[in-house]
Structure 1
Amino acid sequence: MLIELAVGDAYGAGFEYAPPEFVTAHNTLRGYVQHPTHLGIRPGAYTDDTQMTLAVAELMVAGDPWTPANLADRFVAAFARDPREGYAGRFHDFLLTVADGADFLRRIRPESDKSGAAMRAAPIGLLPTVADVLHHARVQAAVTHDTPDGIAAAQAAALAVYYTHNDLGPLPEIGAWIAGQVPGDWARPWRGKVGSKGRMSVAAALTALAGSTSASELLRRCVAFTGDVDTVATIALAAAARSAQVTPDLPPALVETLENGRYGRDYLAELNTRLLG
């Protein structure tokens, strides 16, 4: 799951808010592309979506208490050990100056309804019950996105993984099932460009999931929306990776050239094994 979501993140990063004609021309899955303006993110590198997901997954496998303080510690540590582009500008600057998790919590203003809490929620969907998923998603979301929409988007993203991981039904029904657990019109098909709000990214991811039977088809659909497509692909590919209904056919060119530094592809694979174990 972690490699698939990182591939979605890294591939989508080349197209995030890029002009539609650029997306149409280059969304071929033949390889990673250089974003036309975000030149600090090299092709094949993942962004904040994956890095913050790692922080969540690492806390889960460590088995430490699920508290805002421990989550904040993990968010700070993940960035400090491997600073990278891709974060929203103000939050990136915040992470450059924050000392530790306690400092993070003292200074953060968790008033956003954007997609930051949803993009990192996938590992939570592996927990054993819906109640567990809803609780853990709410706690982690509230650290940075303590708003009704920010929390609901994170819960819906985590429940997408829960639905596929437990094979609860056909993929076209995933949105309707989530709507029965979290307030929101999650079954309505998303159309057009995806904005920065968390609900938008999750709705687009669920729409792409409901209409896809293979991982490669899913990734192309996510990017074709245009807009915040790296987050859409991160959420969708994480859920698809746990579904027996989705053929795992991501192109080897994308998997093999995903970044593989200290916290790259091999680290993701090892952490994924521990997470699923």
Structure 2
Amino acid sequence: MLVELAIGDAYGAGFEYADPAFVTRHNTLDGYVRHPRHHGIRPGAYTDDTQMTLALAELRASGVEWTPESVASAFVTAFHRDPREGYARGFQAFLGTVRTGAEFLARIRPDSDKSGAAMRASPAGLLPTAAEVLHHTDVQARVTHDTADGIAAARAAALAVHYCHHGLGPVAEVGPWIADRLGSGVWARPWRGKVGSKGVMSVRAALTALAAGGSLSSVLRACVAFTGDVDTVATVALAAASRSAEIRADLPRALLDGLENGPFGRDHLARVDAHLR
């Protein structure tokens, strides 16, 4: 799951908020694309979506108690050991000035309804029960996104992984299943058009691409074709899609081989992933 979502993140990063004509021309899956404006992220490098997901995956694999402070500490550790582009500018500056989870919690303003809590929610989705998924998701979401929509988007993203991982129904019905669990029909409504920065938008788009099924390649292309915040859409969708027995694992070799493989890259992601099952 972690390798696939990182591929979605890294591939989508080349198209985030790019001109639709650029997306149409280059969304071929032939390889990673350099963003037409954001040259600081090299093709094949993942962004904050994967780094924060990895932080939570490592926390889960470690067996350390899942608390707001341990979650915040995981974010701080992951950032300082491997500083990278992709974070919102203000949040990146904030991370650069905190050194402990306690300091993070004391200074953060957790009032965002954007996609940060949803993009990193997938590790919780592998837990055995929906109740456990929701508890772990709520704890991590409230650290930075303690708003109704911020938490709801994270819950929906984690439940999508849970649904696919445990084979709870046809992938086409993932949205209605989540809508039933969360008591909101919004998750059953297909997304259309450009994806903005709100978490609910990204997750609805991801569920729409996921529900179409087929293969990981078709899901990834569909995510990017929405335009807008497509690296987050692809991260959320591929996390869940990679756990579905219905969806063919056919990501091109160029994307697998081209994904960064430094100390916290492809091989590290695969090792951590193996401890989550």
Shift of 1:228: 0.3
CA-CA distance at 1:99 after TM superposition:
2.0
Match of 2:168 in 1: 168
In 1, the alpha carbon distance for the partners of 2:149 and 2:132 equals: 19
Match of 2:206 in 1: 205
Q: Hey, what does 2:107 align to over in structure 1? A: 107
Q: What does the per-residue CA deviation read over 1:201-247, in whole Å, with 9 as the maximum and x for residues that have no partner?
A: 00000000111210000000000000000000000000011000000
Give the Cα separation in 2 of the matches to 1:259 and 1:99.
26
Number of the residue aligned with 1:248: 249
TM-score (norm 2): 0.99
| 2:46 alignment counterpart | 46
How far apart are the structure 2 equivalents of 1:182 and 1:245?
24
| 1:47-66 CA distance string (max 9 Å, x none) | 00000000110110111111
Q: AA paired with 1:147?
A: T
Aligned to 2:221: 220
Q: How does 1:10-49 map to 2 (within 5 A)?
A: 10-49=10-49
| Aligned residues of 1:152 and 1:183 also touching (Cα < 8 A) | no
Give the partner amino acid of 1:17: Y
Take 1:132 and 1:274, find their aligned partners in 2: how far apart are those partners? 18
Question: % of aligned pairs identical?
Answer: 70
Partner of 1:229: 230
Whole-angstrom distance in 1 between the partners of 2:173 and 2:276: 26
Find the residue that maps to 2:29 and give its secondary structure: coil
Per the alignment, in what secondary structure is the counterpart of residue 179 of structure 1?
Answer: helix
Separation in 2 of the partners of 1:142 and 1:183? 20
Partner-residue secondary structure (3-state), 1:275: coil
Q: Which residue number in structure 2 is paired with residue 5 of structure 1?
A: 5
Return the offset for 1:182.
Answer: 1.4
> Do the aligned residues in 2 keep the contact of 1:52 with 1:120 (CA within 8 Å)?
yes
Contact (CA 8 Å) 1:209, 1:236: kept in 2 or not? yes
Structure 1 stretches of 4+ with a deviation exceeding 3 A read none
In structure 1, the gaps of 5 or more residues are none
Q: How many residues align?
A: 276
Measure the CA separation in 2 of the matches of 1:182 and 1:149.
Answer: 12
Q: How far, CA to CA, are the matches of 2:216 and 2:137 in structure 1?
A: 25
Report the 3-state secondary structure (helix = DSSP H, G, I; strand = E; otherwise coil) of the residue aligned with 2:263.
coil
Cα shift readout 1:163-199 (whole Å, capped 9, x = no counterpart) = 0001011111100000011143101000000000000
Letter in 1 for 2:26: H
